[in-house]
């Protein structure tokens, strides 16, 4: 299954939810995230442009990317968990082809998240893509 197909699957699950129910779902997803250990929450992994303290670590190989993330904001942590579920195990080229401005729409969250959070999320995707290029 491609990244886009995984995002479409998540979007279909969210289609049944309205308004605050979508936000509650994202917060529930944050509880599934293992987060990051304290030593991984550093300047190198920190997301610039995010309202809350947020970190992303990219590992793996060009054939199988793995991202792990954490945030002080449960909504952001949940959104990053859904992104990781979509990306993990996929190759470099597929990850680099993602459109950071359109990911939340693909996940079915476009109209549910504030513009500030959308911008912060786009910053996280840009950081992931930058780190993937450096693998």
CATH number at residue 53: 3.90.1010.10
CA distance 10 to 126: 21
Q: What is the pLDDT of residue 130?
A: 95
Between 122 and 96, whose confidence is greater?
96
Task: Domain of residue 7: give its range.
Answer: 3-133
Domains of the chain: total = 1
HSE-CB for 54 with a 13 A CA cutoff:
26
Dump pLDDT digits (tens) for 76-121. Answer: 999 999 999 999 999 999 999 998 878 888 888 877 777 777 788 8
Dump pLDDT digits (tens) for 1-41. Answer: 999 999 999 999 888 898 889 999 999 999 999 999 999 99
Looking up tokens 């359109």, which residue turns up? 102
* 126: CB partners within 8 A, 6+ apart: 100
Q: What is the pLDDT of residue 122?
A: 87
């Amino acid at each position: 299954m491609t990244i886009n197909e995984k995002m479409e699957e998540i979007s279909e699950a969210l289609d049944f939810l309205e308004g605050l129910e979508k936000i509650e779902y994202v917060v529930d997803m944050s509880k599934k995230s293992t987060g990051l250990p304290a030593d991984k929450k550093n300047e190198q992994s920190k997301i610039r442009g995010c309202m809350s303290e947020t970190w992303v670590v990219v590992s793996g190989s060009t054939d199988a990317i793995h991202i792990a993330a954490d945030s002080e904001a449960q909504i952001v942590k949940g959104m990053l968990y859904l992104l990781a579920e979509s990306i993990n195990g996929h190759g470099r080229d597929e990850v680099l082809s993602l459109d950071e401005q359109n990911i939340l729409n693909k996940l079915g969250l476009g109209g549910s998240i504030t513009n500030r959070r959308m911008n912060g999320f786009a910053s996280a995707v840009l950081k992931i893509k930058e780190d993937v290029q450096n693998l």
